[in-house]
Structures are given as C-alpha cells and as structure tokens.
Amino acid sequence: MATLQKIRSKGALLILFVGLALFAFIAEEGVRSLSSTRAESHQRIGEVYGESINIQEFNDLVEEYADVIKFSSGNDNLSEEQMQQVRDQVWNTFVQNKLLEHEANELGLTVTDAEMQDIIKNGKNPMLAQTPFRNQQTGAFDLEQLNQFLTQYKAIKDQPGQPAEALAYYDQLYHYWKFVEKNVRQQTLANKYQSLLAKSFIPNPVSIQNFFKGSSDEKEVVLATLPYSSIKEEVKVDDQDLKTKYNELKELFRISDPIRDIKYIDVAVKASKADREEINKEMLEIAEQMQAADADYANIIRKSGSTVSYSALPLRRNALPNDIAAQIDSIPAGTQKGPFLTAADNTQNIVRVLSKASMPDSVQFRQIAVSGATAAETQKTADSIMTALNAGVPFDSIARKYNQTGEETWLTSAQYENAVIDENNQKFINQLCTQAAGTTQQLKLGNAIAILRVLDRKNFVDKYNVAVVKRPVDFSNDTFNKTYNDFSQFIATYKTIEEIEANAVKSGYMVQEREGMFSTEHNVANLPATREAFRWIFKEETKVGEISDIYTCGNNDHLLVVMLTGKNNEQFRTLESVKEYLQSEVERDKKALMLQEKMEACNDLAAVAKVKGALPQDTIKHVTFNAPVFLQSVGTSEPALSGAIAKTAKGQFVKGVKGNAGVFAFQVVGEDNTNAKLDDTTKQNTKIQIINQGIRASSRYTQELMKKGNVKDNRYLFY
C-alpha cells in the first residue's frame, strides 16, 4: 500500500517518463522505418503507374533473358555491350507490358489458359517456330515434340541419380520454353489491345465517300510562289515572340527522361617516342626468333602480346586482319615481313608465311567414332569397320550398329576460322581438308579413332598457313602517369568552367560540348567504361557549374573530366534548349505575314508574278486532298496547299496560303471530280485503306500510354 501511495505521489513525473520513453520508442521505430524506406527507394530501378521494380527483380529478368540468348545462340559469354542491349530490351519490354496490363485490366482484356492451349495447339505463332520443337523438314512448330520433352523433363526431374549435364540442359530448355510461353501470352494480349484500338477506326459510309473523293478528285492549278528566301532583310525576333511560340508548340518538346547539358575534356593517352622505340626493339627480337629453323610459332606469338592467335590450320585471306590480307600474296612462302606499322589500328606487325595451297572451302563427310577399353581394342574395332566398308556394307548401317547416325555433314572454313581449336580438332580438320573425295580413312585422335569418309570437296580457294604477330603500340605506365599528372595539375589550377575554357587550348586540351544528353544513354563522349562519369552527371546532388573528378575510361586509355552546364528534370525541354528551332519558326511566321501583305493588293496571278522575289509560275496537275503536293521549285511537300486547292472551285483565285517554304497563290484551271457512286469493290478497298491507317496509328499507343503511366527510369543510377 505504501508503495502504491508512493507511485501515486510521483504520478505526474511517472507519466512524463513513460511519455518520453514511448516517444523515444516511436521515434526509434520512425527512424528505422524511414531508413528502411530510403534504402528501399535507393533500390528502385524504375516505376510505371506508381508500381516500382527494384534492382534485384530487374536483374532477375535480365538474367532470364540473357540465359535465353545464351541457350539459343550457344554462346555462354555475352560482352558488356551485348548485356547493355539485353538490359535495354528487358526494360522496354517491362514498361510496355506494365502499361498494357494496366489498360487491359481496365478494359477487362485477358488471355486465358484455354486460349494459350489453342495457340500452342495451332502452332502458327511465329515465336513457336523459333523453339527447338519444330519439324526438321517443314520448320513448323511440332506440338508432339514439345509434349515429349515436357514428359521427359518431368521424368528426369522425378528420377534421382541423373547426370548433372543432362539435368542442366533439360532445365535450360524448360526455362527457354517457359520464357517463350510467357512472351506469346504477352504478345497475344498486345494484339488484342491493338486490335481493339484499330476497330475504333472502322469507317462509316460518309467517311468512306469522303476518303474516296479525297484520293480520286483531282485539280489542276497554275501556281505563283513567294518563297521565304526572297526576304533578304533581317527579321527581328524578341524574347516574347519566342515565349509565345514555345507555349504554342510546347507539346512537341515533351520529354520522358531527365536531360543534362555538359562540357567535357577527353584526353587520349598515347605512346611516347620512348614507348614506340621500346616496342620496336622487342618486335625486332621476336622477328629474329620467328626466323629460327625450330621456331615454336604458337609459343612465340602467345608470349608476344599479339592480338592475333596462331592457328596451325590454313586460313582464307578474309580470315586474316585487313592489313595482313592486303599484302599476304606479296610475301613468298617460307619468308616473313616486318616489323611494320599499320597506322589504321596503331599496331606493329610481323607476318611469316609458312605455306600456301589451294584447298576446299567446304567439305562433305561422314564419320564413325570408335573407342574401346584399350588402344588395341579400339584399333581392332576400327579395322573391322574398315573391312566392312571396303566390302561394300553401307556406311549408315554400320554407324547405327555403334549407335551413331553417320549422317552426311558439311564443314565450312567459316565454322573453324578464328576459333580456339585444340590439337585433336586441328588434326580432324586438316584430315578432312586434305583427304581425297570418295575415300575412307582412319584418324587417330587421342584414345579414339575416327573413321572418315569424304564425300565431296567444293569451292577451292587459296589458304595460308601463316604466323602473325599484331601488337598494339601501347603506352607505358610512366607515360600514363605523366599524362594523368599533367591533366590533374591543369584541373587543379583552373577551378571554374570559365577558367578551364579560357586556358584549355594553350595547355593542349580541347573543351567539347554536348547538349541534350538523356539519362537513357549509356556512355559519355562515345567512350566505353564511362559509367561512373554518367552517374555523376545525372545525380541529383550534382549542381550546374560543378566539375567532376578525373575518370579513367575507354580501354583505360582515356582521361575524362565533365562539367555540368545544364539540368532539366521537368516534363518538357527548356525554352533555351530549343531556342534555335523557335527562332526559325518565328522568323518563318513573320516572313509569311510580310509576304501575305505583299500579296494583299494582288487580284490575279499576273500581279503576284510581278512581286519582287516571286518564282516563275508553275502548272501543277493531279492535285488531290489526300496526297500533299510536292513542289520541285522549292523542294518541299506542301500539305496546306493541297488542302486549300481541294476546297477551291474551278476558276477561283486564292492568295496568301502559308506553306513550309513560302506563301502561295493559285488559280484552279481544271478539275476531274468523281461524282459516281462507289461500287462494292472500290468501297471495300477504300474501307481497308482507312482501317490500315487506323492500325498504323494504333501501333503508336505506347507513346501515349507512357505519358499516362508516369514512367520513371532510374537505370542510370545502377548501370
């Protein structure tokens, strides 16, 4: 009781203490929640209709698509440039699908599982024919092959102890199919939506009649032209003129991504005189090594730093670098040329031609691979096969006995040139290229033996067994460090954009400018490996007037400094950025008014022709409303003129028509009006023309949906 009384006596203090503790708890949770929200927002790569996608989700989609490309192309490694293309494609597809899904949900459009089954069963969708499940004779999608694979895949997944390689292949093929299936569904939904839009263009009888008349009713006119170029005096344009025109045309300047204006200095690091002398000295030593009777060309070239590897296989001329191919025939077999400089690719080169021969570009062959528990057993089996073949037993029947097809196969030079080939494959290809057509021979390859029958040899061309050293004239570390230090000293000395511009040329640098850089681009100054510089340019924290650090980019052979001169995160380009375009538009408007005033007193074409600067009169035939008339005299199409002529009666004179290249006056001197009713065939053809116009217009729906969807693209922060 005493304790309770004590608590009561301290009630106000206790309430304050509890309140502060509760506030601290709430504040802590708030900070934690805010930190979590900020961390999550920093992971958002983009947003469509308020729905965001984070970097991990996006990378998963990129990996999925990259795996599909690798599987379908057989190429396990994609370059950074290829991966950038993959990321662009994945982003564009993601945005389009999200925009489409939003519209489809509002309209109640779906693609049901039953529809998908019908599409797959029908097999006519072009994407299905790109899968491995197709008839080898017709190339058409084969549903039976797909069903067989899915059955096999389930059996393999449910059965333990399967080889890892087989499981990996089946997994890849299954995921490839699921990717195709998903894309067919998305494509079908897009086709439904586009078809719905196109149907809104189905014309009524009145529009069909008007369209027909617009294409068939023709006018002949005599035309007088006052071109804008006839006004020689300066046309004054003030800021208010520009602002008014900007507001009038503002929708043309809409943008969907942030824009930056920059200035930059790009310094290419080049080899010094000492560097070139050192490389030349090393190349002379290599040339001497290659002249030795026992020269190991593969080893010499590997150690030389050559960008061209040695191939023991004879190569066609077009498989060699261009500069080497251009002079290969001037180098006799058994001799070499070099070192010599190729300025085009900045390389020092040595070429040794070992031999030349006329060889087939294509070889058709069959083979049976033989292997046994021992070398003797393998040889015994191979000899037995050769005996049977020499006795006339069909090649394919023997191949089937050893679970092989023995099918006829073509080998072309393009399949192995410039590829990394091991010793056994080199022996295999050399054998095929030198073996006579119609003969069968054994070829020992490691522990196995190949029975090779050459069926045909075609397209004989000159081939060269050649050893090439092609070494870039690179700069040394000392040269790089000196170039970097000199550039760093320049940037440290001049701390503003104005100072840098004023002193760049005398210091040996050039300031370049780039206006209107979008955040969806991938590099700066057309240089690779400028990701960090690109991020700096588009970071919100980077202010106009700031100068970046020095970035090493390109192939580690360029130094780059960027200066931010303009920043636009709005929905429209700024007036200043389109000022030149606005200037020309306002000037044209004012010139049009001046020329229209000159025409005001003219009551016929003869009077217009007397106006200073008027072009000779011209007769224009076959003018229709639907086709903008093209005027040879000014070199432009004039849609406004076509419209004015179409509504003018025969004999009537019209003046002051403002066009793209000038102001026009004309008189209609002839007309051919089709007043007859449309027959059924023409009506149907006209209807199809209008519908096709609608389909073409509806295909641009994504551009409009992008505005509605408030698409935000933050990829530049991550890649």
pLDDT digits (tens, 9 = 90+) for 693-709: 776 766 667 777 888 88
pLDDT-based confidence at 575, cuts 50/70/90? very high
Contact yes or no for 625/211 (Cβ under 8 A): no
Distance (Å, rounded) from C-alpha 220 to C-alpha 28? 83
Q: How many CB atoms lie within 10 A of CB 691?
A: 15
Q: Do residues 21 and 28 lie in contact, with contact meaning Cβ atoms separated by under 8 Å?
A: no
Residue that is written with structure tokens 């292949």 in the block: 169
pLDDT at position 254 is 87
CB 716 within 8 A of CB 520: yes
Residue-wise pLDDT tens digits, 239-248: 999 999 999 9
**Percent of the chain whose pLDDT exceeds 70:** 92
pLDDT digits (tens, 9 = 90+) for 372-409: 888 899 999 999 999 999 999 999 889 888 888 888 98
Would strands 636-638 and 347-370 be described as parallel, antiparallel, or unpaired? Answer: unpaired
Average pLDDT over residues 417-429: 84
pLDDT in tens, 180-230: 999 999 999 988 988 888 777 777 777 777 777 777 788 899 999 999 999
pLDDT tens for each residue of 44-75: 888 999 888 899 999 999 999 999 888 887 77
* Residue 16 pLDDT level (bands cut at 50, 70, 90): very low
pLDDT exceeds cutoff 70 at 2: no
Report pLDDT for 627: 85
Query: Based on the number of CB atoms within 10 Å of its own CB, is 228 exposed (0-12), middle (13-18) or buried (19 or more)?
Result: buried
Is the pLDDT reported for residue 714 higher than 90? no
Average pLDDT, the chain: 87
Q: Are the C-beta atoms of 502 and 490 separated by less than 8 Å? A: no
Say yes or no to pLDDT of 471 above 60.
Answer: yes
For the chain, the residue count is 719
- Using CB atoms within 10 A of its CB, is residue 236 exposed (0-12), middle (13-18) or buried (19+)? exposed
What pLDDT does residue 186 have?
93
Distance CA 443, CA 636 (A): 71
Cis before residue 394, ω within 30 degrees of 0?
no
Nearest to 184 by CA among 274, 121, 251, 136: 121
Query: Which two structure tokens, joined as six digits, stand for 166?
Result: 């087989």
Residue 503 binned pLDDT confidence (cut-offs 50, 70, 90): very high
- Weakest mean pLDDT among 116-120, 259-263, 570-574, 640-644: 570-574
Cα distance between residue 82 and residue 313, in whole Å:
30
DSSP percent split of the chain into helix, strand, coil, nearest 5 = 50, 20, 30
Can you spell out the DSSP letters for 421-452?
--HHHHHHHHHHHHSPTT-EEEEEETTEEEEE
CA–CA dist 113, 120 (Å, integer): 11
pLDDT in tens, 134-193: 887 788 898 998 998 898 888 888 777 777 777 888 888 999 999 999 999 999 998 898
pLDDT at site 34: 39
When pLDDT is cut at 50, 70 and 90, the band that residue 15 belongs to is: very low
Instruction: Output the pLDDT for position 10.
Output: 39
Q: What's the pLDDT at 697?
A: 67
Q: Supply the angle between the helices 113-122 and 143-158 in degrees, to the nearest 10.
A: 120
Q: What is the pLDDT of residue 24?
A: 42
Mean pLDDT of 366-372: 91
The SS3 of residue 566 is: strand
pLDDT value of position 277: 94
CATH 3.10.50 fits 260-270+476-568, yes or no: yes
The pLDDT, as a whole number, for residue 415 is 86
Q: What is the mean pLDDT of residues 295-302?
A: 92
Task: Provide the pLDDT for residue 20.
Answer: 40
Residue 114 has pLDDT above 70, yes or no: yes
pLDDT in tens, 326-363: 999 999 999 999 999 999 999 999 999 999 999 999 99
Query: Residue 43 gets which letter from DSSP?
Result: T
What single letter denotes the amino acid at residue 563? M
| Model confidence pLDDT, tens digit, residues 24-49 | 444 444 444 434 444 455 688 889 99
pLDDT exceeds 80 at position 615: yes
Under DSSP, the state recorded for 292 is: S
Q: Where are the beta strands (DSSP E) in 179-296?
A: 218-227, 259-268
Instruction: Please write the tens of the pLDDT for every residue from 73-97.
Output: 777 788 888 898 999 999 999 999 9
DSSP per-residue codes, 624-666: -SSSPEEETTTTEEEHHHHHHHHTPPTT-EEEEEE-SSEEEEE
Q: H or E element: which one contains 513?
A: strand 511-518
pTM, two decimals, is 0.69
Residue 665 has pLDDT above 90, yes or no: yes
Residue 233 pLDDT greater than 70, yes or no? yes
Identify the pLDDT of residue 446. Answer: 86
State yes or no: pLDDT of 436 exceeds 90. Answer: yes
Q: pLDDT tens across 666-685, in order?
A: 999 998 876 556 667 777 77
Residue-level pLDDT at 534: 94
CB distance 631 to 645 below 8 Å:
no
